Amino acid sequence: MSDRLMKEKLAAGELVLCMNLRLARSVDIAMVAKAGGYDALYVDMQHAPYSIETTATICAAALGIGITPLVRVPNHEAQWMSRVLDGGAQGVILPDVNTRAEAETIVSACRFPPLGKRSVMGLGPALGYRAVPLAELNPKLNAETAVVVMLETAEGIENCEAIAAVDGLDVLLIGSGDLTTNLGIPGQVDHPRLRAAYERVAAACKKHKKALGVGGIRHNTGLQGELIRLGARFVIAGTDTNYVLAGARQDTAALRAIKLD
């Protein structure tokens, strides 16, 4: 773990560990994630009731302490991508990407011209509100912004090479929970069909110089290790909700095991 951007670590072939946020609502979680050894966090606007204001506040806090803030947006509408990026996110995670056309539309929404059509904001939290000439600002933010697309269906896996070939994408992240559900093997993360999907996407990522991501396989370091050896470099290692529950269950189990007189 270091203060370098996630994209810098990925470019160097290093492992990036990301924490999924669904429970936390205060800026303290950014410090907790960093103290816990994470490189990045992502605010989950898809599966948790985060407001845009709370999301931006957590992102700004993460920027200030040197941990990369990402946001999983609820859908592919361009306004979600631009608003979270303007609010301080250094990357977006897009759920349920199935085709090259969808990936191209996402890149267009997340990148400034000439790479895309993102609207220019000017001063903002991503650069600490420092005045930067527009000619420098747009290329700098394009370079520092991570675009992560999630493959969560058989269709997405089938089209993985075409998706990986899209310029402007950084990570192809397999959503293992949704993918196993779509494949008719819900939750069977050790199933050969899921492993075959990872192998297929890993090959596409290697060919097109994209990073492979692992999602939906938390607290299973054995399987995560296998996928890292396969080539994964972006790993969602845990969620704040599960960490709280694990600690709570450990303490209550220990206390309830005490024999009463």
Residue for token digits 């160097």? 12
Question: Residue 170, class by beta-carbon neighbours within 10 Å (0-12 exposed, 13-18 middle, 19+ buried)?
Answer: buried
Q: Please tell me the distance from the alpha carbon of residue 103 to that of residue 125, in angstroms, as a whole number.
A: 26
Q: What is the chain's alpha carbon radius of gyration, rounded to the nearest angstrom?
A: 19
> What does the block give as tokens for 200?
């297929």
CB 111, CB 103: distance < 8 Å: no
Does the annotation count 47 as an active-site position? yes
CB 176, CB 194: distance < 8 Å: yes
Question: Residue 117, class by beta-carbon neighbours within 10 Å (0-12 exposed, 13-18 middle, 19+ buried)?
Answer: middle
> What does the block give as tokens for 144?
């520092």
3-state secondary structure 80-135: HHHHHHHCCCCEEEECCCCCHHHHHHHHHHHCCCCCCCCCCCCCCHHHCCCCCCHH
State the catalytic residue, choosing from 47, 76, 191, 208: 47
Q: Please tell me the distance from the alpha carbon of residue 174 to that of residue 63, in angstroms, as a whole number.
A: 26
> What does the block give as tokens for 4?
């370098």
Q: Please tell me the distance from the alpha carbon of residue 168 to that of residue 106, in angstroms, as a whole number.
A: 9
Catalytic residue numbers, as ranges? 47
